[in-house]
Amino acid sequence: MPRQRRRQSTASSDTNTVKDPDHPLYPDYVEHARRVVTGMKVAMNKQKVKTPSAVPVLSPYILRARAIPMLVSPWIHVETILKGGLIEISTIAEEDAGTLQLPEFYEDICAMMPGNFYDMLSYAYGLSPGSTEQFVLWLHESAVSARTDTTGQFKAAARRYLPQFIDGALTEELPSLTDKSARGNAHPDFARALIPHEDRDVFDEDPSKYRAEVDNGVRVNTEESWPSFMFADDISYDPDDPVNGFGTGHVFKRFLNHELVGASGADGVRPNGTRPSKSLSWNITDVTARIAAHITAHAYVSQSGMSEFGPEDGEYSVQGLYDNVVKLLTVDDDWTRETLAQMTRDVPFINHGAKGKSLQPRRDKEGHQRRCPVELVLEKRRAKQQTQNQAQLQQSWGCGTGPFGNRSGATAAHNRALTQGGTSNSASKNTSRAARNVEDSEDNETPQGSIVRRRNRVPPTAHPDREYSDAQFDIGGDDGEYDSQAHQSPFV
């Protein structure tokens, strides 16, 4: 097993409470790494799972990798960085850990991933280099997918966010919402948003002339100037303070809210979606320099004529713009702290749930326990079935009366069978048999002089081949006569 440089875990204080080895915060990163390697091998079997994120032990890492473009950089190649770092860690001895030279952004990626990702990934690489390299590729693909999604969402929303009032009218309506060639310098409103802040007044004097000079190469706009959309319309350029009002532009603020809260909250209102926002999912509570730079670069691409996200737009370096914003907002001074704090205030629902999500756990009333609705359904069904069975019984027995008087004994036996849950056809038949047996018992116990009925019974002395007359059997009272008025046969 290769030696590793021990690094302080970035896990929270709740780590010791996690008992599931599949959880990223499980205290024993060695055991967790073994589980991750097993999950890697399962995910590589396409017949078992469709996507790696479907494997529970891998899902937290693959989903978290979607935050890499925003929290680390949208320009880095995650696979190259992580593979290079793993090779460096696996080939250096522990006593030489001080000479460890990891690729740029390697530790930044490890720091923003869940749990003790640094040690877990290193140990997993020692167990199975091939599986771990495939896992790193999945992380890279997840990050690229997230960046592509942001590009597409910003491209679709740019038309709405550009006017002073959201969804307002443009000077010239776009011929197509999908054709990027109609944006940038090809459209007066998009061109005004992308020009340097110091050229805004010149542009407003004659937009057509300014755009023609850009097309002819007379004017060359580069990342050396801050784009106009970063500043509010009522803030003029101050040569003595070029960044006065930086980050106050309505376009920038709408894209900032869009990315951190959701499209429905782009204008600073609470979102009405049902899915948690990125800031809530990734526990983002403040706007950082890299977040602001990420929004600036994507906002530029969405308003330009660029067909896809990339580092350059002609003479303009979009990556250079990103780096300049990061450098500006990482200066340790009061202006930087206040600017980032204001950007955070401009996203009032950062790290908040949407309207469709319950922010508080349910609270039951004191002394009241919620009843399972399934129990109520089953209770209603049982009552309904019992009513139907009783109705069928009454119909078959003439509502409880018959030619031989009240059959209370049979009815009671049948009701007892129903109470015990006998609701099937076979149970009903068994109940009817029980009722007849009870009836026979009652008839046999009738006083002297009443009829004694026997159904389908052959006398003990009878021979099956002989014929018998009614006179040979006692079917009446003491005098042997049958009283037809007192006992009317039901078979007449």
Reduce the secondary structure of the chain to three states and give it as a string: CCCCCCCCCCCCHHHHHCCCCCCCCCCCHHHHHHHHHHHHHHHCCCCCCCCHHHCCCCHHHHHHHHHHHHHCCCCCCHHHHHHHHHHHHHHCCHHHHHHCCCCCCHHHHHHHCCCCHHHHHHHHHHHCHHHHHHHHHHHHHHHHHHHHHHHHHHHHHHHHHCCCCCCCCCCCCCCCCCCHHHCHHHCHHHHHHHCEHHHHHHHHHCHHHHHHHHHCCCCCCCCCCCEHHHCCCCCCCCCCCCCCCCCCCHHHHHHHHHHHCCHHHCCCCCCCCCCCCHHHHCCCCCCCHHHHHHHHHHHHHHHCCCCCCCCEECCEEHHHHHHHHHHHHCCCCHHHHHHHHHHHHCCCCCCCCCCCCCCCCCCCCCCCCCCCHHHHHHHHHHHHHHHHHHHHHHHHCCCCEECCEECHHHHHHHHHHHHCCCCCHHHHHHHHHHHHHHHHHHHHCCCCCCCCCCCCCCCCCCCCCCCCCHHHCCCCCCCCCCCCCCCCCCCC
Instruction: Please name the residue that has the structure tokens 């009829």.
Output: 451
pLDDT at 165 over 90: no
pLDDT digits (tens, 9 = 90+) for 439-452: 554 444 444 444 44
Report d(CA 155, CA 470) in Å as an integer: 104
pLDDT digits (tens, 9 = 90+) for 15-26: 568 899 999 999
Over range 465-483, report the average pLDDT. Answer: 48
Q: Which pLDDT does position 73 carry in this prediction? A: 97
Asked if 209 and 335 sit in the same domain, the reply is: yes
pLDDT at 259 over 80: yes
Q: Which pLDDT does position 212 carry in this prediction? A: 97
Identify whether 461 is part of a domain. no
Identify whether 74 is part of a domain. yes
Report d(CA 12, CA 119) in Å as an integer: 15
Identify whether 465 is part of a domain. no
Identify whether 459 is part of a domain. no
Identify whether 453 is part of a domain. no
Q: Which pLDDT does position 217 carry in this prediction? A: 93
Asked if 253 and 280 sit in the same domain, the reply is: yes
What band does 337 get if pLDDT is binned at 50, 70 and 90? very high
Identify whether 365 is part of a domain. no
Asked if 166 and 270 sit in the same domain, the reply is: yes
Asked if 168 and 139 sit in the same domain, the reply is: no
Asked if 296 and 341 sit in the same domain, the reply is: yes
Identify whether 356 is part of a domain. no
Q: Which pLDDT does position 419 carry in this prediction? A: 54
Q: Which pLDDT does position 379 carry in this prediction? A: 87
Least confident piece of the model among 134-143, 274-283, 336-345: 274-283
Least confident piece of the model among 7-11, 33-37, 339-343, 395-399: 7-11
Asked if 201 and 70 sit in the same domain, the reply is: no
Asked if 295 and 173 sit in the same domain, the reply is: yes
443 against 225, higher pLDDT: 225
User: For the chain, how many structural domains are there in total?
Assistant: 3
Summary mean pLDDT of the chain: 82
Asked if 224 and 265 sit in the same domain, the reply is: yes
Domain of 301, in residue numbers: 162-345
Asked if 210 and 325 sit in the same domain, the reply is: yes
Asked if 30 and 130 sit in the same domain, the reply is: yes
Asked if 330 and 384 sit in the same domain, the reply is: no
Identify whether 198 is part of a domain. yes
Asked if 139 and 167 sit in the same domain, the reply is: no
